[in-house]
Amino acid sequence: MTHPALCADSVAVVTGGASGIGLAAATKFAGMGMRLAIVDSAEDKLDTVATCLRDAGAADVMVAPIDVSERDQIVAFEAEVTDRFGGTDILMNNAGIGASSSCLGPLDAWQSILGVNLWGAIHGTQVFAPGMVRRGRPGAIINTGSKQGITTPPGNPAYNVSKSALKTFTEALAHELRNTGGSQITAHLLIPGFVFTGITGLSEKPQAAWTAEQTAEFFIERMNCGDFYILCPDNDVPRKLDEKRMAWAMGDIIENRPALSRWHPDFSDAFAAFVDTND
């Protein structure tokens, strides 16, 4: 089984495509012979990225330095892509930032994180998707979420909120697309594990982390299998443990436990026992 949009005839737009998961995914698309449109705020990297993607097999590459939180920039870029390539078949809303935040402020951290991680994907989808549907071809919209948007661990609430909201948005998008007459566009939520990219702030890859290339390879494999939730493992956390953590998070509501009880001292033993069960 192969997703019909993953072919040489497709046009793929990737935001945050100059590094990390975005560049790894764009490189996979290039290897399929696609035409690529790459967006990133790191203007100094774009020419090198374009050359690398052409060398990897892309039929053609266009790049643009864009802030995805600014809708007008996305609108202008969509028009340029349509003018050059005739339309878009794959949209990967991948651009993301992870500055520190607190529930009590500061406001600018919240605005910047939500602006890129959530509004960037909403802008991209609302601007590109109508034309993708009208194009009448198989296509896909991939939004890069995070496990933190599901288990919402303490430490960076603005990032968690952005990815949690993106999960909800992408679920609703999948439902709308499959109920839109004439649409051949699928939606997918990419849920990376621990991946060594610039957003981690680390200078060397930890043993526990996957590379961006491993993540892109897994994402393509699961997209070909038709997955909506593309839940990635890493070198430290297998899928079974992810499932336990996610089930416990939902259980906080069902069992009326305290918020984020996984990190509450009164529930540490109960969570450990839950993880150790075989069911």
What are the pLDDT digits (tens) for 131-155?
A: 999 999 999 999 999 999 999 999 9
Return the percentage of the chain with pLDDT > 90, whole number: 94
**CA dihedral of 95, 80, 84, 138, whole degrees rounded to 10:** 50
Q: Delimit the domains of the chain by residue range.
A: 11-236, 238-279
pLDDT of residue 184: 98
At 65-120, the pLDDT tens digits run 999 999 999 999 999 999 999 999 999 999 999 889 999 989 999 999 999 999 99
Structure token digits, residue 122: 């909403």
pLDDT of residue 222: 97
Contact 170, 189 (CB under 8 A): yes
pLDDT of residue 197: 87
Give the global pTM: 0.96
At 27-45, the pLDDT tens digits run 999 999 999 999 999 999 9
d(CA 149, CA 98): 13
Which residues form the catalytic set? Answer: 159
In the predicted model, is pLDDT for residue 198 greater than 90? no
- Kindly write down the DSSP assignment for every residue of 66-88, as one continuous string: --TT-HHHHHHHHHHHHHHHSS-
- In DSSP terms, 90 is beta-bridged to 12, 140
Mean pLDDT in residue range 176-192: 97
Confidence of residue 201 (pLDDT cuts 50, 70, 90): confident
| Second-level CATH architecture of 11-236 | 3-Layer(aba) Sandwich (3.40)
